[in-house]
Amino acid sequence: MPELPPLPTISQLVFTGFALFTCASALGVVLARNLFHGALALVATLFGVAGLYVMLEAEFLAVSQVLVYVGAIATLITFAIMLTRSMMYGKTSPLNRQWGKTGLFAVMIFLALYGFVGSIPWADSAPAVLADESMIAALGVEFVTNYVVAFEVMGLLLLVALVGAVMLARDNN
């Protein structure tokens, strides 16, 4: 009699839930005919990814994800959808001519990644991380020591993006 696989633990069940939720809403983003529903699916995906970060014990990242993506980016995208009246209620196909080839390509990429990921014996347990509070402090220290150049450049980039976005979107008339 073959040995039965062990019962899934609660964390595995929760992970499966988050993973399925994330993947299903990601499909919703790319397949939705109504672009506003696509944006809502994007919000759901971002929340799912935030949940995965929590499971990976990166709470700070999870909250930043919700703050930046849901609070700013998703709202911006929804605004842009409404401002450009680009709803496309099923009158024309939301896909262009090359959707068939692209779909095949995407499926092949996924299968290749699947095979690649599956073929390597990854570690299935992880060492313990730092205690909560000290990890956030350590992350802050990293930003002002080892990665200070990247941090500063990112600040500059955000400034340039801010000015550029205002200049581009401004109505000259």
Partner 1 sequence: MVPLTGYLLVGAFLFSAGLYGALARKNAIAVLMSIELMLNAANINLVAFWRYGDTPADLTGQVFAVLIIALAAAEAAVGLALIISVYRERKTVDLDELDLLAG
Partner 2 sequence: MQGSTWSDGIVGLLTGLGLPDMLALGIAYGIGAFILVNFGMVSALLLIWITRKAISRMQDRLGPNRLGPYGLFQTVADAAKLISKEIITPSQSDFLAYNAAPILSVFGVLILLAVVPFAPGLVGMDLNVGVLFVVALGSIGVMAALMAGWGSNNKYALLAGFRVVAQLLSYEIPMVLSILTVVLVTGTMSFGRITEFQSLTIGGFNLGIGWLGIMMPAAMLIFFISSLAEAELTPFDLLEAESELIAGFHIEYSGMKFAMFFLAQFVNAWVLSALMAVLFLGGWQGPGVGLPVIGPILGLGYFFIKSYAIYVLQQWVRGTFPRIRIDQMMYFAWKVLVPASVALIVVQAIVQKLPVPDPVIYAFIFLANIGVIWVVVTALQRYIKSATMGTKRSFEPAGLIGTMQKADTYAMY
Q: Which residues in this chain contact partner 2 in the complex, by CB under 8 A?
A: 9-11, 34, 36-37, 40, 43, 59-60, 63-64, 66-67, 70-72, 74-75, 78-79, 82, 132-133, 136
**C-alpha distances out from residue 45 to 12, 18, 35, 79, 127, Å:** 19, 9, 15, 18, 28
Contact between residue 78 and residue 105 where contact means Cβ atoms under 8 Å apart: no
Task: For residues 41 and 33, give the distance between their C-alpha atoms in angstroms, rounded to a whole number.
Answer: 12
One of 7, 122, 133, 149 touching partner 1 (CB under 8 A) = 122
Site string for partner 1, 100-119 (x = CB under 8 A): --xx-xxx-xx--xx--xx-
Q: Which positions from 24 through 83 interact with partner 1, judged by CB under 8 A?
A: 26-27, 29-30, 35, 38-39, 42, 45-46, 49, 52-53, 55-58, 60-61, 64-65, 68-69, 72-73, 76-77, 79-81, 83
Helix axes 132-144, 148-169, angle to 10 degrees: 80
Judged by DSSP in three states, 34 sits in: coil
Enumerate residues 6+ apart whose C-beta is below 8 A from 146: none
Q: Which does 70 bind (CB under 5 to 8 A by kind): partner 1, partner 2, none?
A: partner 2
Shortest Cβ 3–partner 1 spacing (Å): 18
